[in-house]
Chains A and B, each alone.
Chain A
Amino acid sequence: MNTKSSFGVAQIILFLSIAILVVVVAFPVLLILFNAFWVEDHFNFSGAIEILKEPETFKALINSLIIAGMSTIGSTIVGTFFAWLVTRTDMPHKRFMKSMFLVPFMLPSFIGAMAWKMLLSPNAGFINRFFMDNLGFDGPIFNLYSYYGISAVEVMYLFPFVFIQVCGALERMDPTLEESARISGAGLFTITRKITIPLVLPSILSGALLIMLYSMAHFGTVAVLGIENGIYNIPVLIYERIHQSGGSFESIRTGTVLATVLVISAACIIWAQRKILGSGHYQIIGGKSFRPMELKLRGLKYPLMFFCFAYIAFTIVLPTVVIFLVGGLSTYGLSFTPENLSLDNFKFILFEYDVTRDAIFNSVTLGLTAAIITMFAGVMISYVIVKMDVKGKGILEFLGMLPFSVPGSVIALGVILAWSGQFGINLYNTVWIILVAYIARYMAFSLKANSAALEQVHDSLVEASRACGATMWQSLKDIVLPLVKPGMFAAFFLIFLPSLRELTVSIMLYAPTTRTIGVAIYTLNEDGETVISCALAAIALIIIIVGQTVINHFTKKESE
């Protein structure tokens, strides 16, 4: 629309949108690249290479690759197998299992890592002790503090990325594609090999790449489990360097170089994912839902069902129960008998202990503020991207996609560089720096939810109100905003809930008084306050599960 009156409005909205994304997202990321390669007034590429060649940084690099590689392979196998079981077989209780397999999505993996540490740590883990004490084993049955242990825990929390993608593809696949193969005389095994797998391969690969992206940049699991045996990856090393040196020049420089490696690998992964999803044969899978062909499992039906339930009990229920039980112990190390268990710890952390009380308050207020700001900014920016026909919106689309590919620790480092006083504003050691980082990190979620909602609002609805005599602003207020409200709500929860359990970003930015829930759980655990940190983790889990139930209920109602 280029009538005179809306011309000014359009320019203002566009300018504001670009300004927000540049200041919050692009500027910090650019500063990282700048600091990595620009030393003492000149471009220095070999210096960056030198830093990567240092034994410690090189090891972090290799460790990141090993852990990401193993987690990706493991999660892909687990995710694809379960996806196939719940969509294409006649296994009983499929619906229940499908929803259970999605639970790890909302559980913070570092809390899981803490639980597994208590269960399987080589000398003190409950399971290892049980085998050693009661069954006469000489040593631990499984050493959790290893590449295998770390990757196994990552798999438990990351496999839903593949699971959800493959489920979607298998459900949406046109059954006539398989039926025509069947009519042509192919057996079920041949159909699976020649038709089904090639068709869902893009989904499998795209889910696998997502897992790669997350686990390369994952802080929590490696930080909790790797420390004993000196296993660390890129985000952990960045954190340790910055944390120990209090932000010295050398540590920042090492951090920026490592962060650049993360950004580049993330960019490659996103590029590869788009290429796979963009390639032609993905189109065969339409948007419609079909009733897919089901394989009769016959004799394997109940063994497989038992296996799934065992998996759910072992990887989802057991760690959660351990967190709650340990959180109720009066002292760590006592056995779980009624006289040792009470609600005292929960009372203590909620009402008496400053550190945890502050942490809960900080996380809730930070989450709320970030969610509200990001929700409104997201509506405005996606309005420009989806609805407005103005020059320069290509920049917006690019900037809006950027946070998708930038890992949390990179955003945190960039925020330190941008808001520590070099550019006139010093937010370091305040909650505001965490807020800015949250906004940058979660902007992409908001853009996604709001764009989806705005695409549903057809242009003619706004034109109709203009023809009825409403101005541009009145149309936005009376027509557009009420219609995108569901998208805004979704954006709010998509930001609020993850920010409650956030660790990667806030661990880099916290000061003694600005701990978040995640930071408090992590630091208390590091300081040996296992019981208190578990109690706090239990409370975080309750908040997350309640919140998720609310949003599920809400979105289900919306879609009906």
Chain B
Amino acid sequence: MDIIRVENVSKGYPGHPVLQNLSLTLKKGECFTLLGPSGCGKTVLLRLLAGFESADAGKIYIGDTLVNDPEARIAVPPENRGLGVVFQDYAVWPHMTVFENVAYPLKIADRPKDEIKERVMRMIDIVGMNGLDKRLPSELSGGQQQRVALARALVADPALLLLDEPLSNLDANLREEMRFEIKELQKKLGVTVLYVTHDQEIGLAISDRVAIMNAEGAIQQIGTPWEIFEQPVNPFVFNFMGIANFIDVRREENSFLVGKGSQAIPWESPAGDATEWVAAFRPSDVRIARSGDGLHGVIRRANFLGAMMDYLIEIDGAHLRTSIETHHAIAQDLMFKAGDECSLSFLSLHWFEKESLKGVLEE
């Protein structure tokens, strides 16, 4: 069953279109991530769902209710949509204690006092804030404030939880810890989660499904994290999901030659008639050796990064980057210096027509 249906929604500001004709559905109970570069309109979409803004065109359904349809002049205000929202800046009310913050949605709903107390204390327990219920937000750390915001968004048992970059103000360790807690909470409470972020790692780690948006606010691909990572539909998605190498490959009769030279690429040929191709692969998909089968290249730059060695390699005018664990490199005699020769092969490789890359690599 679909819990959110967005149909052909457009939204823009004077002289600046943000979303155009966008459609999307969320299934009940899933954790869905909207992933895109900053400024792509993903937050605008979340605000449309929450009801803070109204679409210029299109329809939005939450459950079976039509909540926004500018043509029919329908715009259900946020307080009547029954959602939980967690903001990037926590938005924990500084003049209320932790208990009062979490209790607010129930108080507004006029629940009896005992019930409020019981549900709030249970929620505070679930987010791991036991014993801190009488604190003011100014006495809490950023991570604790974010937990309060989560508890407040979840206390009224919303069917849908909207999260807008909730972890981007936390430091790296805390961010990692919190993302698993959010996933745990989602499983425990069975709530549907829409998570908006530009951080692909979080997107991959916690989602059932991911949607990738490009800078123009158009959805490029929707799928499971694995599909997005392993079967990107276009260079944008591939590039967005981590550091990527793109090397030029040209077709001469039936052989595919790298850069300006005459070495054939050791991979199956692409299907298609184009003559200009690009081979795309992640640094981790490169196998490097002193010699042997594969492409011959020259190390142009060797960087020692502690646990990893990072190499910039040139193959007949085409450049690529790869990295290899330092202890592995030492064991296998793969500690290269600039100017050393090497031999390369691939574990995985994607073909894109060169035409389709326009506008992707400039970023």
Contact = CB atoms under 8 A, between A and B. Distances in A.
Interface of A: 1-6, 458, 460-461, 463-472, 474, 478-479, 482-483
Interface stretch (B28-36, B101-109, B190-198, B302-310): B101-109
Contacts of A468: 79, 104-105, 108, 152-153, 156
Given A466-B77, A466-B78, A467-B50, A458 B89 contact: yes
Contact of A3 (B77, B92, B162): B77
Nearest to B80: A469
A472 B89 CA distance: 21
Nearest to A468: B105
17 contacts: A3-B77, A3-B78, A460-B89, A460-B91, A463-B78, A464-B85, A464-B91, A464-B152, A466-B51, A467-B83, A467-B153, A468-B105, A471-B77, A474-B108, A479-B93, A482-B95, A483-B94
Contact of B50 (A6, A458, A463, A474): A463
Given A3-B75, A3-B78, A460-B91, A467 B104 contact: no
A469 B149 CA distance: 15
B104 A3 contact: no
A470 B88 CA distance: 20
A469 B105 contact: yes
Given A468-B79, A468-B104, A483-B94, 4 more contacts: A466-B52, A466-B79, A469-B80, A472-B77
A109 B43 CA distance: 56
Given A2-B54, A3-B51, A469 B91 contact: no
B134 interface: no
Interface residue SS majority, chain B = loop
Interface string B70-84: 000101111111111
A470 B104 contact: yes
Most chain A CB within 10 A, of B76, B80, B108, B109, is at B108
B169 to A, nearest CB: 12
Contacts of A470: 79, 104, 108
A484 to B, nearest CB: 10
Interface string B121-165: 000000000000000000000000000010011001000001000
B346 interface: no
Most chain A CB within 10 A, of B51, B52, B80, B153, is at B52
A469 B84 CA distance: 9
B87 A460 contact: yes
A1 B52 contact: yes
B78 A467 contact: yes
A479 to B, nearest CB: 6
A478 to B, nearest CB: 7
Contacts of A4: 73, 75, 77
Contacts of A2: 53-54, 75
A124 to B, nearest CB: 58
A474 B85 CA distance: 18
B50 A464 contact: no
Given A469-B156, A474-B108, A464 B93 contact: yes
Contacts of B84: 467
Contacts of A479: 93
A261 B129 CA distance: 65
Contacts of B91: 458, 460-461, 463-464
B320 to A, nearest CB: 43
Contacts of A483: 93-95
Contact of B52 (A458, A463, A469, A482): A463
B310 to A, nearest CB: 36
B104 A465 contact: yes
| Shortest 5 CB-CB contacts between residues of A and residues of B | A460-B91, A468-B105, A467-B85, A464-B91, A466-B78
A8 to B, nearest CB: 12
A469 B78 CA distance: 7
